[in-house]
Structure 1
Amino acid sequence: MSRLLIICCAALLALCGCNSPAAEPVTVELTVPTGGLPETIVQEVPVGAEVTFKVTTATDDVVHIHGYEIEFPTKADEPVTKIFTANMAGAYEVESHVTNQIYMKLKIK
């Protein structure tokens, strides 16, 4: 009986150790013209993906990715790249802390 229990526990541990394959890396580009965007962009990203987030703004700005608490300044027309892992499912706003405009909604699923 104890041998069967050990075999079952080993099988269960082996199954629990199986992970789904990692998501492919994703590059998200955001370009904000003078005066901001006409509407919020919606961008889907798979959970687990490494995200290369490239932002270019027409004016100096401070961009914040809510939920991931990533915040960084931008200089006019100078691209900024941030890399993070999309490890939390949900919808997260990418916002300007200068104009308070929501540039993008990242949907991580």
Structure 2
Amino acid sequence: MRTAVMLAAVVGSALALAGCGGGGGSSAADTTATETTATETTATETSAAGTTTTATPAPQAKVIPIRVVNGQPQGGIQRPKVDQGDKVVLVVRTDSGEAVHLHGYNIEKPVVPGKPVRLPFTASIAGRFEVELHPTDSLLAVIEVEP
């Protein structure tokens, strides 16, 4: 919904600016926006000279879902690999515990049993990083960030 509102605002602004060009509209830039995903928008602009420029969309975050039952990760301890610089979102749903902690990045968020908690981060540090459920220190995942 928020993306649709933003998309409408961008298109509306572009149309308003195109109308302010004066001189019959042939010299005004023609701007359109196309929704490509729920969080990504690509804009294309065509100048009066016929040159087309396309903005490169931001890379999508890599989502790593983890489900925990009775303090144990379902399917075993996950070992995802991501590239340094990637945007990553851990989504943890657990029935117990007080917090989820991503070591090395020192990110910790409280959990509410039965509700997902999101831990977004940019994989800026290469290495292996443990994800634990506190206070039990149950190992949920080991994320490998490759340079």
Report deviation, 1:24: 5.3
Query: TM-score if structure 2 supplies the norm length?
Result: 0.55
Q: Which residue of 1 aligns with 2:61?
A: 25
Q: Which residue of 2 aligns with 1:80?
A: 117
Identical residues among aligned pairs (%) = 32
Once the two structures are superposed, what CA deviation does each residue of 1:19-42 show, in whole Å capped at 9, x if it has no partner? xxx975311111111241374221
Query: TM-score if structure 1 supplies the norm length?
Result: 0.72
Report the residue type matching 1:28 in the other structure. Answer: I
Q: Max radius of gyration: which structure?
A: 2
Q: Distance in 1 between matches of 2:82 and 2:119?
A: 15
Q: Which residue of 2 aligns with 1:98?
A: 135
For structure 1, the 5+ residue unaligned runs are 1-21
Q: Which residue of 1 aligns with 2:101?
A: 64
Report the residue type matching 1:25 in the other structure. Answer: A
Report deviation, 1:60: 3.6
Q: Distance in 2 between matches of 1:81 and 1:25?
A: 12
Q: Which residue of 2 aligns with 1:36?
A: 72
For structure 2, the 5+ residue unaligned runs are 1-57
Give SS of 1:105's match. Answer: strand
Q: Superposed, which structure 2 residues align to 1:40-59 within 5 Å? A: 40-59=77-96
Give SS of 1:107's match. Answer: strand
Once the two structures are superposed, what CA deviation does each residue of 1:51-100 show, in whole Å capped at 9, x if it has no partner? 11111111242111000000011011101112110011100000122211
Bigger relative CO (Cα 8 Å, ≥ 6 apart): 1
- Count the aligned residue pairs: 88
Q: Kindly report the root-mean-square deviation, in angstroms, between the aligned alpha carbons of the 2 structures.
A: 1.8
